[in-house]
Amino acid sequence: MRRIILLMTVGAVVVVSTLFVVSVAGAHKHPTAAMAQKHPTRKVMIQNFSFKPAHITIKRGTKVRWINKDSTAHTATANNGRSFDSGRLRPGQRYTHTFKSAGKKPYHCEIHPDMRASVVVKR
Ligand SMILES: [Cu+2]
């Protein structure tokens, strides 16, 4: 009788640990969780009349968030005039854009045209 109980206990432990390993492996492969890890949002500060960092390289599908840390308004506007445009960002405001196509995306501030920067999007 004791031997049967022992065998059943060992069997239960094996089943439970197998299920645990399978569920952990499954969670690791979860596609949305993996995507979120792969493409964290990149931040660009607008400070002292410049974009910091001025040049970033990201993977396609990554979000870029501009945050205006200055005490005056700025914009982040694609040089081609249509890829993205934050509009007027007042102090403390932010703008987020998701880059879906690869290539170099130069941009500037509409209010201060000397403020120039770029985003390079890799496949
Ligand atoms: Cu500006």
**Is the model's pLDDT at 118 over the cut of 70?**
yes
Name the region of 49 (left: φ>0; alpha: ψ -120 to 50; beta: rest).
Answer: left
State the distance from the centre of ligand 1 to the C-alpha of 72, rounded, in angstroms.
8
> For 28-56, how does the pLDDT look when each residue is reduced to its tens digit (9 = 90+)?
445 555 555 567 899 999 999 999 999 99
Read off the tokens for 86. Answer: 């934050």
State the distance from the centre of ligand 1 to the C-alpha of 39, rounded, in angstroms.
27
pLDDT at position 120: 98
State the distance from the centre of ligand 1 to the C-alpha of 3, rounded, in angstroms.
79
State the distance from the centre of ligand 1 to the C-alpha of 45, rounded, in angstroms.
12
Confidence (pTM) = 0.70
pLDDT at position 39: 76
Give dist(CA 44, CA 96) in Å, integer.
Answer: 10
